[in-house]
Amino acid sequence: MTVSESALDLSAALTKFGLQSFRRGQKEVIEHVISGKDCLCVMPTGGGKSLCYQLPSLVRPGLTIVVSPLIALMKDQVDALEKRGISATLINSSLSLQEQSERLDQVAAGKFSMVYVAPERLRNPRFLDAIRATPIQLLAIDEAHCISEWGHDFRPDYQRLGKFREALGNVQTIALTATATPRVRTDILESLQFKNARTFITGFARDNLYFGSAFCMSDRDKDKHLHDFLSGRDESGIIYVATRKRCEALVEQLGKELKLSVGAYHAGLVPEQRKLIQDKFMAGELKAIVATNAFGMGIDKSDLRYVIHYNMPGTLEAYYQEAGRAGRDGLLSQCMLLFSPQDRYIQEFFIENANPSKDVLRAVYDFLLSCEEDPIELTAEEIKDQISQSATSEAVNSTLQILSRTGVLERLEVASGLAMFRLSSRMHTFIDLLPRDATQRRHVLRTVEKAIGDRRDEAVYIHPRWLSEQLGMDKEQMNRHLRELCKLDDFEYLTPFRGRAIHFRMPRSNRVAQVAQANR
């Protein structure tokens, strides 16, 4: 293909996305990808990162696997592609098991040019079998800074992406993010096992954004600046705050004083509430969102005219990511930071609690080891009151995150009355590990294995009543056999729990031995 033919093909493909020309840096990255080479692309929010893997997916044969961190982000991307007649789909937990299976069959049959998944999906045997049945042209890692920022913490599957690439024969890969310090870039390149990948940094300038700040001596001063800024303004925007308490207070205040249609968004809300607020904001029913940093990643609302930081963010990168959500349509927009000296102390408090002392780590760990129940249904606040060291509930939460990174324990979300099962071995069946005369236990194990299917190494939630009916046993009899099965090294079973809980991955006998050893 000649240079002119290639340019013609790119121009034709560009029109499929409703575009007439490339934005700064896009064409160079796209041509590099089409040539078959790996790369890391650092491009500002609103710079058009998605096109850098979506367009190559149209002009080359084969499947593109897009790894994305959030279900809402996947849905936005796929909906936009489908509207333009581009064959794309997603496979995630928002689909029923039957829908997931049907999508996988369609992917294996080559129906789609792109499939969006979360990183956790890449260790699902059923998914791996399906994608091996179709040629893969590209692996795209969206929001790639999560490899460094989340991969070491509560999304460890980001750190496994390099192994996934290797399992697919080091498939061509593009990693994309809006911001990445030199350390984060190095972390991404090493984690993905890039050998000769090129790094594109297209610049951070956003000519349509006005960046300003106002020095405020107190929160009352901030409230006045905010009131003056928002008065008479009928435009969409985000107001970022540091705490949930401030978030709720500002929503009430702005609604009362300015009659502004505004919603609160923070990690303390249940997922259904967060989704409702986000949907209303995207639909224009809410003009503004007051949010902690839990809100924003992948939010493709192009007409945000302002982003206000009521409190100083924790890092410069976080500020740029959040402020950069304004003006994605290229029109003039404002980014305002309301700064007071007190903001520094808030961030120092967060830093201190994110890095608990060795004594606090030891105290939390020893206390959890001493607990007989599994799962341990205690909040961070309750654990704080039980340990010997003085600590905040935030420091206890950080300790639990650190301990979960080791794989010793895991933190479980509310299971809505469901029991949790996990089979951690790749053995086809565990049946041969049981005595032949243990007929009832073998019956229970076969039923659980059938329910889990190929979802090995995953937490699978099953309703106890359904399992009891399938087994033809009463609850007490079933639980007795399940407790016996838990003596197998790679069989895990947890009874339903009321809210968040902590689960030790090590068997109870090992925990008892550790406590005894520690007390010698």
Tell me, yes or no, whether 300 lies in a domain: yes
Domain boundary among 303, 320, 347: 347
**Cα–Cα distance, 186 to 283 (Å, whole number):** 39
My answer on whether 450 and 313 are in the same domain is no
Please name which of 411, 402, 447 lies closest in space to residue 429, comparing C-alpha atoms. 447
**Cα–Cα distance, 146 to 141 (Å, whole number):** 10
The CATH code of the domain that includes 169 is 3.40.50.300
My answer on whether 125 and 214 are in the same domain is no
Query: With pLDDT > 70 as the criterion, what percentage of the chain qualifies?
Result: 91
Does position 309 have pLDDT exceeding 90, yes or no? Answer: yes
**Cα–Cα distance, 159 to 156 (Å, whole number):** 5
DSSP string, 167-224: HTTS--EEEEES---HHHHHHHHHHTT-SS-EEEE-----TTEEEEEEE-SSHHHHHH
Q: Residue 209's pLDDT is what?
A: 92
Does position 7 have pLDDT exceeding 80, yes or no? Answer: no
My answer on whether 125 and 231 are in the same domain is no
**Cα–Cα distance, 290 to 238 (Å, whole number):** 6
My answer on whether 390 and 438 are in the same domain is no
pTM of the predicted model as reported, rounded to 2 decimal places: 0.65
Tell me, yes or no, whether 501 lies in a domain: no
My answer on whether 377 and 451 are in the same domain is no
Domain boundary among 174, 201, 228: 201
Rounded to 5 degrees, what are φ and ψ at 193? 60, 40
Tell me, yes or no, whether 503 lies in a domain: no
Please name which of 211, 286, 295, 217 lies closest in space to residue 254, comparing C-alpha atoms. 286
Q: Is the dihedral of CA 50, 53, 55, 58 positive or negative?
A: negative
- pLDDT, mean over the chain: 84
**Cα–Cα distance, 192 to 212 (Å, whole number):** 37
**Cα–Cα distance, 310 to 290 (Å, whole number):** 9
At 160-196, the pLDDT tens digits run 888 888 888 899 999 998 877 888 899 899 989 898 8
Round the CA-based radius of gyration of the chain to a whole number and report it: 25
3-state secondary structure of 236: strand
CA torsion 296-299-304-306 (nearest 10°) is 10
Between strands 236-240 and 304-309, the pairing is parallel
Please name which of 20, 45, 35 lies closest in space to residue 321, comparing C-alpha atoms. 45
Number of domains in the chain: 4
Peptide bond into 507 cis (omega under 30): no
Tell me, yes or no, whether 370 lies in a domain: yes
Q: Which strands make up the sheet holding 288-291, listed edge to edge?
A: 209-215, 333-339, 304-309, 236-240, 288-291, 262-265
CB 112, CB 137: distance < 8 Å: no
At 323-350, the pLDDT tens digits run 888 988 889 999 999 999 888 888 888 8
Please name which of 415, 414, 419, 416 lies closest in space to residue 464, comparing C-alpha atoms. 419
My answer on whether 23 and 152 are in the same domain is yes
The CATH code of the domain that includes 512 is 1.10.10
Domain holding 450, by residue range, is 419-496
Token pair listed for 483? 């407790």
My answer on whether 110 and 213 are in the same domain is no
My answer on whether 213 and 79 are in the same domain is no
Q: Average the pLDDT over 78-106 and give the result.
A: 88
Does position 511 have pLDDT exceeding 70, yes or no? Answer: no
Does position 154 have pLDDT exceeding 60, yes or no? Answer: no
b or e along 54-65 (b: 16 or more beta carbons within 10 Å of the residue's beta carbon)? Answer: bbbbbeeeebbb
Domain boundary among 201, 223, 249: 201
Tell me, yes or no, whether 118 lies in a domain: yes
Residue 54: left if φ>0, alpha if ψ -120 to 50, beta else—which one? alpha
Does position 89 have pLDDT exceeding 60, yes or no? Answer: yes
Q: Residue 266's pLDDT is what?
A: 86
Q: Residue 145's pLDDT is what?
A: 86
**Cα–Cα distance, 20 to 48 (Å, whole number):** 13
My answer on whether 408 and 270 are in the same domain is no
Q: Residue 516's pLDDT is what?
A: 47
Q: List helix spans (H) across 330-474.
A: 342-354, 358-370, 380-386, 393-405, 439-452, 464-471
Tell me, yes or no, whether 464 lies in a domain: yes
Amino acid at site 510:
N
3-state secondary structure of 88: strand
Q: Average the pLDDT over 416-442 and give the result.
A: 85
Please name which of 76, 74, 186 lies closest in space to residue 120, comparing C-alpha atoms. 74
At 378-395, the pLDDT tens digits run 888 888 998 888 888 888
Tell me, yes or no, whether 341 lies in a domain: yes
Q: List helix spans (H) across 17-145.
A: 26-34, 51-59, 71-83, 97-108, 125-131
My answer on whether 431 and 396 are in the same domain is no
Token pair listed for 86? 């581009």
Tell me, yes or no, whether 51 lies in a domain: yes
**Cα–Cα distance, 62 to 137 (Å, whole number):** 5
At 50-86, the pLDDT tens digits run 999 999 999 999 999 999 887 777 888 898 899 899 9
**Cα–Cα distance, 280 to 288 (Å, whole number):** 10
Token pair listed for 445? 């194990």
Q: Residue 518's pLDDT is what?
A: 47
**Cα–Cα distance, 340 to 221 (Å, whole number):** 9
My answer on whether 14 and 131 are in the same domain is yes
Q: How many CA atoms lie within 13 A of 254 on its CB side?
A: 29
Amino acid at site 135:
P
Q: Residue 88's pLDDT is what?
A: 94
My answer on whether 376 and 269 are in the same domain is no
User: Which of 110-114, 269-273, 363-367 is predicted least confidently?
Assistant: 269-273
Q: How many CA atoms lie within 13 A of 230 on its CB side?
A: 28
**Cα–Cα distance, 181 to 12 (Å, whole number):** 35
